[in-house]
Structure 1
């Protein structure tokens, strides 16, 4: 199952096991069970501390659990944890075997202190780059707390359960049989939802912090660069982020980051976070800014109020809040989000195997999505608002070569329709004839660009007609002591490398402001 190189790496990892672990398999005579048996035998070959037994006690077949001999296992993989999930398997083996996790002690203590019973099931696709974060977080919770169990379920393998629960997006997590969350969640986010007192404790800790010299709002490429440049000046620096990494976490292939031939969004974000934390930067993750209050007088403190009720003060603020997927804003879209309306073809595409889907948008993102989906789904209908596709010529050539793709131009989507539980089609207006037409389908992938995350700033800083923060060449905003960088600003091109440069510029301008004031 595993090639020699991967097997060699796994053997080296398993040398770190501090205690025996047991694999408990539920298998039958199917081809997938045979593949799983081969994988488990490969793991057995890699360490004498690993044992294997078969037990048909689970309703999920094929599947296997990871546990300690003599104890009921609390981690289960229903499906082959390959692709993006192979790391989840390796971590489950290591952590069950006593290898210490790389999380802060406060998080470990919080997990161990959870009371009650938590049975998590996470539906994933092996091509999803967000799913492993959820699986790994829940697996760690199961390792540290005997009241927690975690099961990864490959939606493509257990299609009947996916259809029964009407799951249309991954990762989707269930807790004790009830839907718990959809989309990527960090371990801190999960804990905040199950530990009811966590939010209040976090607000108290934030409110008690002393004023910063530079407070960066946003943890994407622009915010990371700004924080690093500020920290290197030896000044008190904080980063307030709703989700460290921002939009880059949802980006799969990156091939235009100069000096790095190719990488993936989550890998780049991990490197950014490691670089930021190499300095004395106070990173406050999973915090959403609600209001910006300018300094009352020249040289005074700028205040950032948070949604949890806390507030932070700083001598200067750098806004690097990035952008989010632009929505169609048509009837039915919100009602069927994650029930057929999706934004990530890489993550959710496998759930629509053999089905009919639409892609909204004819730019590079939309055409790339249609090409990727065409290899999975039954048929793709691409709808473009304009009278011509805007994607690169090479992408258009590939798109038109695919037999199961239909391109409709001059099409304005006017409604998403469904049966109350999931999407069953969309309505669009032919912008040439004015005629309304309907397309029967099971999924819609929206790829129409980005919107700046600046709604909370409308009454404070000057914004463009597109909602972008207006900045000058040095990153100054209309408010003294407040600077901005990245995709939330009027910078003309929304690129990772440009955002990083803008973050550095804004940070240097903030430092100059501190010197002069």
Structure 2
């Protein structure tokens, strides 16, 4: 199961084990069970603190439990093989069960230990889902550090019948006590917040108690990371406030135009950026959503960002890098069947549609790439484009045309996504050339029609926006408000590319530096700082 290099890598990690762990397999006679046995035997052979047995009686087969030998409640169960994006999750589960301390704040571990009640989690993931590892690792951490929490982590592709019976049509999908709990990317603090409402209030107070920053970056994507590195290297106190570090970069798979690196993937590049930022004293605050911007009343004064939690952060200079999100169709049925057949991430959710009929809406690069990826998994793909021709690069058009199970429909306006009340059953579109209305029977719809800048929260702030909702900036990344800069996909800069966003972030950081050294702090700054 494990290649030589992967075995060597795993053996190096396992040297950090502090106490024995047990692997208990529940297996059948199928091929996946044979692979699971082989994986557990290979892992056990790498360290004398690991034992493997195959007498488990778990509800899923194949599955295996990882548990601490001295404390059987410190355990987590994997159903299916946690390979692909989940191999790191497997390694961490082994280390944490074996007593190696996790790299999380002690405050988080204390909150996990303090959670009251019994909580039985099940979580569905796919091996190609870049959003799933955060959830898998969060639930693993909680199951190992709180004896009243259990977690079964299920690879959906290995349990297709179960996925269909529970109507899991998007991952990551979390169930608690057999009932739906949450969908989408979450980390351990998000899950704790849903279980313990007081945790959110405590975290909000901690944020509000922070001293004003000299530079506050709002958004944690490539633009935000670059801006923070450039300002902190100039000696300014710098904070990053973001819903998640990496932003939309973490949802990107193959990246072949990041100069000096022929190929990488979004999650890997995100991790590298996060590590780079971590080399400096940047205060990274994640799981926070900006709700309102209140500019300073005078040059050199403090700008204020109000957060959805009720907390607020202040800074002499602000860099807005809140990025963009997938554009929605805005047609009947889209919102109703979101995560029930309507999806926006083909890499995450594609494996759940193995052998089925799906549509991809959008004929640009993203849409055509999605169709190519899905064609290798699903039974049939219908690619629908509003214009009279695909807009993707010719190399992508040639590739998608080579698949026998892909049908391309142009000049088509999607008018409705239909369903049976529970899941998607089809799609209706209007032929823009003839005016005829046609319906396609489908099991899923993947929407890939571009991006929308995340700027709604800036309404009433005085920040100038373009007709498309982008932040208007000059050639120094400055907005129309002194001391407030912007960078990346959220701005009017053309060409929404990762490398351009990073460059614009660097520019914004340098511009903020220039602003700060040329602008005397207003009296309100001194008053605030002396009060702190």
Same fold (TM over 0.5): yes
Question: Which SS does the other structure have where 1:346 is aligned?
Answer: helix
Question: Which SS does the other structure have where 1:215 is aligned?
Answer: strand
Alignment correspondent of 1:223: 224
- 1:378 maps onto 2:376 in alignment: no
Alignment correspondent of 1:167: 168
Alignment correspondent of 2:328: 327
**CA shift for structure 1 position 95:** 0.9
Pick aligned residue for 1:496 from 483, 495, 498: 498
Alignment correspondent of 2:196: 195
What RMSD, in angstroms, separates the aligned Cα atoms of the two structures? 1.2
CA distance in 2, matches of 1:133, 1:149: 17
Alignment correspondent of 2:58: 58
Alignment correspondent of 2:112: 111
- 1:29 maps onto 2:50 in alignment: no
Pick aligned residue for 2:465 from 441, 463, 466: 463
Question: Which SS does the other structure have where 1:156 is aligned?
Answer: helix
**CA shift for structure 1 position 127:** 1.4
Alignment correspondent of 2:304: 303
**CA shift for structure 1 position 15:** 2.1
Question: CA contact under 8 A between 2:24 and 2:56: conserved in structure 1?
Answer: no
Alignment correspondent of 1:254: 255
Question: Which SS does the other structure have where 1:500 is aligned?
Answer: helix
CA distance in 1, matches of 2:317, 2:10: 47
**CA shift for structure 1 position 71:** 4.3
Q: Which runs of 4+ in 1 moved over 4 A?
A: none
Which digits, 9 at most, give the CA deviation of each residue in 1:416-441, with x for residues without a partner?
A: 11111110011111111111111110
Alignment correspondent of 2:11: 11
CA distance in 1, matches of 2:160, 2:24: 23
**CA shift for structure 1 position 259:** 1.0
Question: Which SS does the other structure have where 1:72 is aligned?
Answer: strand
- 1:487 maps onto 2:519 in alignment: no
Alignment correspondent of 1:412: 413
CA distance in 2, matches of 1:288, 1:424: 35
In structure 1, the gaps of 5 or more residues are none
Give the 5 Å matches for 1:343-358. Answer: 343-358=344-359
Alignment correspondent of 2:527: none
Which digits, 9 at most, give the CA deviation of each residue in 1:51-108, with x for residues without a partner?
A: 1222342111111101123643530011011111111111111110111111111111
CA distance in 2, matches of 1:282, 1:175: 33
CA distance in 2, matches of 1:51, 1:77: 16
- 1:515 maps onto 2:517 in alignment: yes
**CA shift for structure 1 position 164:** 1.1
Alignment correspondent of 1:123: 124
Which digits, 9 at most, give the CA deviation of each residue in 1:303-323, with x for residues without a partner?
A: 111111111111111100000
Alignment correspondent of 1:205: 206
CA distance in 2, matches of 1:283, 1:37: 41
Question: CA contact under 8 A between 2:27 and 2:33: conserved in structure 1?
Answer: yes
- 1:477 maps onto 2:479 in alignment: yes
Alignment correspondent of 1:145: 146
**CA shift for structure 1 position 458:** 2.5
Give the 5 Å matches for 1:379-458. Answer: 379-458=380-459
CA distance in 2, matches of 1:509, 1:391: 35
Moved more, 11-20 or 243-252: 11-20
CA distance in 1, matches of 2:238, 2:37: 51
- 1:241 maps onto 2:242 in alignment: yes
Question: Which SS does the other structure have where 2:85 is aligned?
Answer: helix
Question: Which SS does the other structure have where 1:122 is aligned?
Answer: strand
Which digits, 9 at most, give the CA deviation of each residue in 1:383-434, with x for residues without a partner?
A: 0000010111111111111111110000010111111111001111111111
- 1:342 maps onto 2:343 in alignment: yes
Q: How many matched pairs?
A: 517
TM-score where L is the length of structure 2: 0.95
